[in-house]
Copies of this chain bind each other. A is one copy, B any other.
Amino acid sequence: MSLRAELRVVRDRFRLDVDLDVAPGEVVALLGPNGAGKTTALRALAGLTPGGRVRVDGAAWDGLPVRRRPVGVVFQDYLLFPTMSALENVAFGLRARGVRRAAARAEAARWLERVGLAAHAESRPRALSGGQAQRVALARALATGPRLLLLDEPLAALDAGTRVHVRAELSRHLGEFTGHTVLVTHDPLDAMVLADRLVILERGRVVQEGTPAEVARTPRTDYVAHLVGLNLYRGVAEGGTVRLDGGGVLTVAEPADGPVHVAFPPAAVSLFPQAPAGSPRNTWPVTVAGVEQHAHTTRVRLDGAPPVLADITTATLADLRLRPGDALWAVLKATEVRTYPITGAGGG
Chain A residues at the B interface, C-beta cutoff of 8 Å: 11-13, 32-36, 38-39, 76-77, 119-120, 123, 127-132, 135, 152-153, 156-163, 186, 188, 222-223, 226-227, 240, 251, 253-255, 265-268, 270-274, 276-281, 295-297, 310-313, 315-316, 319-320, 329, 331, 333-336
Contacts and interface: CB of A to CB of B under 8 A. Distances in A.
A313 B129 contact: no
A8 B90 CA distance: 32
Q: How many identical subunits does the complex contain?
A: 2
Contact of A266 (B38, B156, B297, B335): B335
B130 A153 contact: yes
Given A132-B34, A254-B296, A153 B157 contact: yes
A158 to B, nearest CB: 6
Contacts of A266: 335
Given A132-B34, A156-B157, A254-B297, A333 B278 contact: no
Contacts of A268: 267-268, 333, 336
Nearest to A267: B335
Nearest to A77: B77
A130 B77 contact: yes
A274 B272 CA distance: 14
A310 B279 CA distance: 10
Given A279-B312, A313-B334, 13 more contacts: A12-B123, A12-B127, A13-B120, A33-B162, A35-B128, A35-B132, A76-B130, A159-B186, A161-B226, A270-B331, A272-B276, A273-B277, A312-B335
- The 3 A-B pairs of least Cβ separation, nearest first, read A34-B131, A272-B278, A267-B335
7 contacts: A76-B130, A76-B157, A77-B77, A157-B186, A267-B336, A272-B276, A274-B277
A227 B162 CA distance: 12
Contacts of A128: 35
Nearest to A39: B129
Nearest to A164: B226
B278 A331 contact: yes
A298 to B, nearest CB: 9
A278 B279 contact: no
A254 B225 CA distance: 14
Contacts of A162: 33-34
A131 B35 contact: yes
A160 B31 CA distance: 10
